[in-house]
Amino acid sequence: MINIGVLALQGAVREHVKALQAPDVNVIVVKKVEQLDEIDGLVFPGGESTTMRRLINLYGFYEPLKEFATKGNPIFGTCAGAILMATEIVGQTEPHLSIMDMTVERNAFGRQRESFEALLSMEGVGEDVEGVFIRAPIIETVGPGVKILSSYDGDIVAAQQGPFLACSFHPELTDDDRMHQYFVKIVREQQAIEA
Ligand code: GLN
């Protein structure tokens, strides 16, 4: 059995819990720092990154989350969650958790396309992954250790650096759970390495 947490400070939590369901997966809604000790992987949901960061500080999650990542525990960030993971945010002097070597630009798809859906080809996941973009960030650039999994209109929208997975869109808002199951696979593989 593996335990995967969903950080439940703000944003869409229930949908992630549903998409992570698998026979040997126990999903934990993480509201307290101590719960990080119980989990093998963690999802940062979408929402609003500055609000989420404020709550991370308020509830004492900042250092424990950094430590969780430094230990190599898998993390999957969607939309605002990806912004939390980036080492650099365009127009901001400081990043948030600085977990994954990438530069993101918030709300980068422009006002006229604040929300839209697109079919994406995603390496290792599928050729027709449904992407729901809501005031989505673009992954502008990635570092050498980061693999680009998907681009849309020339912009990077999903990437992976070892156990860290990030996407601009909201896979939890569709019935297609392949992206989450891809993350479950990452967590399983990491467990196998550590065992
Ligand atoms: N625009 C939001 C932010 O900057 C992210 C939007 C989302 O998660 N749907 O945090």
Q: How high is the pLDDT of residue 175?
A: 93
- Ligand 1 atom showing the smallest separation from residue 48 Cα: 10
Confirm or reject: Cβ of 83 under 6 Å from ligand 1.
yes
Q: How high is the pLDDT of residue 39?
A: 98
Asked if 167 is an active-site residue, the reply is no
Q: How high is the pLDDT of residue 112?
A: 58
Three-state secondary structure string covering 12-54: CCHHHHHHCCCCCEEEEEECCHHHHHHCCEEEECCCCHHHHHH
Asked if 170 is an active-site residue, the reply is yes
Asked if 94 is an active-site residue, the reply is no
Q: How high is the pLDDT of residue 192?
A: 85
Q: How high is the pLDDT of residue 111?
A: 64
Cα 11 to Cα 15, 38, 120, 135, 190, distances in angstroms: 10, 22, 23, 14, 27
Of residues 79, 105, 130, 180, which has the active-site annotation?
Answer: 79
Confirm or reject: Cβ of 107 under 6 Å from ligand 1.
yes
ipTM above 0.90, yes or no: yes
Complete domains list, the chain, with CATH:
2-194 (3.40.50.880)
Of residues 16, 105, 172, 180, which has the active-site annotation?
Answer: 172
Q: How high is the pLDDT of residue 106?
A: 96
Q: How high is the pLDDT of residue 11?
A: 86
Q: How high is the pLDDT of residue 128?
A: 96
Mean pLDDT by 10 residues, the chain (195 residues): 96 94 96 98 96 97 98 97 98 97 93 84 95 96 98 96 97 95 96 83
Q: Cβ neighbours of residue 40 under 8 Å, at least 6 residues apart?
A: 2, 3, 4, 73, 74, 187, 190, 191
Q: Which of 43, 109, 135, 173 to mutate for ligand 1's pocket (most ligand atoms within 8 Å of CB)?
A: 135
pTM listed for this prediction: 0.97
